Structure 1
Amino acid sequence: MLLSLWDIWKGERNSERDKGREKMAATMVETPPPQLITTIEWSMMDKSKFFPLYTLSSFTVRCALYPLTLVKTQIQVQRKKEAYKGVSDAISKIYASEGMSGLYRGFWLSSMKSFVAGGCASLVGQTVIVPFDVLSQHLMVLGLVKGSPDGVKNKKVNPLGLNLEQRMSKSALAREVAVRVYRLHGPLGYYRGYAASLAAYLLRISPSWISHLFVQCVAGTLGGFTTTILTNPLDIVRARLQVEGVGSMRQVFNELWKEEGFFGLYAKGLSARLVQSACFSFSIILGYESIKRVSVSDEFRTRVRW
């Protein structure tokens, strides 16, 4: 009798233990570990870290590679090999005669050029884009106007007071929106939100990188190689026209062809340009991806995969 009671009690204990294990297993299945992040989005980053680090990274890369740009220009402008035989010969001779400052001649002007050009490009781009953006967004919210019972009368979603019951073609509707914006706000109506749009564009970093850092760096480098090789003759002509200031593109091309031949037209300064392009592409992409991971917000930091 005692043995049978013992067996019953032991069986109940074992069944309770098994139920507890099943509950634990179910809980583990229901709450999977947080998924790793392989692509860091713009919203996941701490901008106060990202902008200073990215600016410092870009400036450092430009500082390191500027001597190659200077050497490339001098080799492209020289006649045949009257001054330098190659990249290493040019660097050693410039350093011996002028010191380190000789390798950075014109550096600050070049840096200012990039800063001003980038700002002007953004300014001009947004000046063209914003009017179209204003009109397109008025057209976008027409669906919201139609879907709302009092949408036509609601000035927040239909500030132009468009009559949607009247049938119009797409081009006629776009023309009507443009006319009404002008009547309501004047020419400045096409530039409403211009400052916000410009600020967003200047601060936005929107390249679409693929997942793996090594592939990104290699792809960027190979892309730089291809572009550099194809455009080198044009770069030589540009350098000579800007320095010498005489003749036309055709005259400089003909002169180069007579002096250097096909090989000289493509190879003059090419090695310096290839090294500079490869290092620049590799360093910028590597720096950008690394800075993204360093600048990620604390809430996502444990889920970021290096």
Structure 2
Amino acid sequence: IIVMWFPLSVGAAGVLVGHPFDTVKVRLQVQNVDKPLYRGTFHCFQSIVRQESAFGLYKGIGSPMMGLTFINAIVFGVQGNTMRLLREDTPTNQFLAGAAAGAIQSVICCPMELAKTRMQMQGTGEKKSSRKMYKNSLDCLLRIYNQEGLRGVNRGMVTTLIRETPAFGVYFLSYDVLTRSLGCEPEARFMIPKLLFAGGMAGIASWISTYPVDVIKSRLQADGVGGVNQYSSIADCIRQSVRREGYMVFTRGLTSTLLRAFPVNAATFATVTLFLMYARGAEEAPKDCEAAQTSHHTQMQQQEAQPTSL
């Protein structure tokens, strides 16, 4: 039971640590450029705590907590099974497997992030909101569904797919390249610090590769909260954003995102890798009935002993 729940517990801890940074990121991404509330990352942190209390940083956390189990199961499950189908463990195949995992988990990720974004924007600058539109993340999705149907619940799906597909490809590719170059073998010295570094840097590379798309996704998902839609399409959102704020709009909230990316992904990847090493070691432990196996099996074991990635 401990082995089964340990990776999930680390993932939940990552959400608890990283969510305040995510709230700051979203607030900076969607704030009105004509009347900006925040001057930067640190000022946004200060303002939210001062105006809305520390709990303001955790608005919308219920959504990623609910989706955490499904997303981690889909991402690592699809990536692992795709690698088995591709047979050869190469950096290119790692990218393809990661991209497949990113595309499939978007089905859950999009509604989850829609509810998260709407909750994070609710009651901006108010310690106690006089009128809350949504009680919680689930109520948010139900209200959107009742008003707009499935199309409303899946608002931002195209941008989510555009972001997640290459991002997860870069995610697994970066981790694969770094673990190979650092020599993260089970008996290697400083294996855990190496895994933490590789996971953290993979997270940073993943976010940087598609961050401009994330800005547009956040703006589209936050659009229409007050009843008026500012953007008619993805292209219109890009056009209006660039015209009003220049190309630097695509870096809004990036500092907060990178501060969050390293520790959260370092812990996630290191935990999953160690968990899989433990599970694989248990599976490959010799049994009495295997004593008389042929030399072909011995040869296969020698091949499996070659350095491989996650």
TM-score w.r.t. the length of structure 2 is: 0.48
Look at both structures and tell me which one has the larger radius of gyration over its CA atoms. Answer: 1
More contact order relative to length (CA 8 Å, sep ≥ 6):
1
